[in-house]
Amino acid sequence: MPSIFDRISNIIRANINDLLDGAEDPEAMLNQIIRDMNDALRQADSDIADQIARQKMLEGDLDMAQKNAAAWQSKAELAVSKERDDLAREALVRVNDYNEQVAIYSKQLEAQKATVAELKSKRDLLKSKYDSAVRNKEMLVARARAAQAKTEMTKVATKAGTADYASELDRMERKIREQEARAEADAEVAESKTSVEDEFTKMGADQKVEDQLAALKAKMGK
């Protein structure tokens, strides 16, 4: 029975939470685990029935060997009582043969009972784990999804922690200051240019007035 023993043992040892934590779809994974458990339980029930049948066969063989040994022992005693040593010897040979069978069957039966007991124990453990998985299905899925979400948040936080936001902010501030300084410089240049033009305009206006004044004086003989 190594195959079914190994399969049941592997399922029993498996940590469902760990399996779900690593699954992309925890619910689908849990459904598959439950199906695997159910299949293993059905196989275990079938194998247990086969092993119990084998145990009963061994019990029958042992019982028959014990009865034959007892019967030939009686025949040996009868032969001795009739002073038939030749028949007694033959009967004792048969007794020894059947006693050897008794020893063999007893050993086989002991091993078979241990096999059945072990398979039943593992089957019971698997049934308990199966019932727990079915009963706590929604909770297990929720825990797996929460663990996934926590992992994703940790990744994001780690990524954010490694980013040099201070340097980025410094660069942005410097760029803004450069833009402000350029704007002020442009305004200053524009203001300077306007002042010069205003001076020339004023000078032109003053000269016109002087010319007009001179013409007026000349007209008036002044």
Question: Which residue, chain included where needed, has tokens 């007991």?
Answer: 117
> pLDDT (tens digit, 9 = 90+) per residue, 111-160?
999 999 999 998 998 898 889 888 877 877 777 677 666 666 766 656 65
- The answer to whether residue 101 scores a pLDDT higher than 70 is yes
Whether 91 contacts 113, CB under 8 Å: no
Q: What is the pLDDT of residue 159?
A: 61
- The answer to whether residue 66 scores a pLDDT higher than 60 is yes
Cα atoms found within 13 Å of the Cα of residue 39, Cβ hemisphere only: 9
- Rounded Cα distance between 49 and 144, Å, is 37
- The answer to whether residue 64 scores a pLDDT higher than 90 is yes
Sequence ranges of the domains in the chain: 2-163, 174-222
DSSP 145-175: HHHHHHHHHHHHHHHHHHS-HHHHHHHHHHH
Q: What is the pLDDT of residue 153?
A: 73
Cα atoms found within 13 Å of the Cα of residue 220, Cβ hemisphere only: 7
Residue type, 44: A
Q: What is the pLDDT of residue 79?
A: 94
The band of 174, judged by pLDDT with boundaries at 50, 70 and 90, is: confident
Whether 44 contacts 11, CB under 8 Å: no
- Rounded Cα distance between 103 and 61, Å, is 11
- Rounded Cα distance between 19 and 10, Å, is 13
Indicate the burial class of 120 (C-beta count within 10 angstroms; 0-12, 13-18, 19 or more): middle
Phi, psi of 220 (to 5 degrees): -90, 5
The band of 199, judged by pLDDT with boundaries at 50, 70 and 90, is: low
- The topology under which CATH files domain 2-163 is Helix Hairpins (1.10.287)
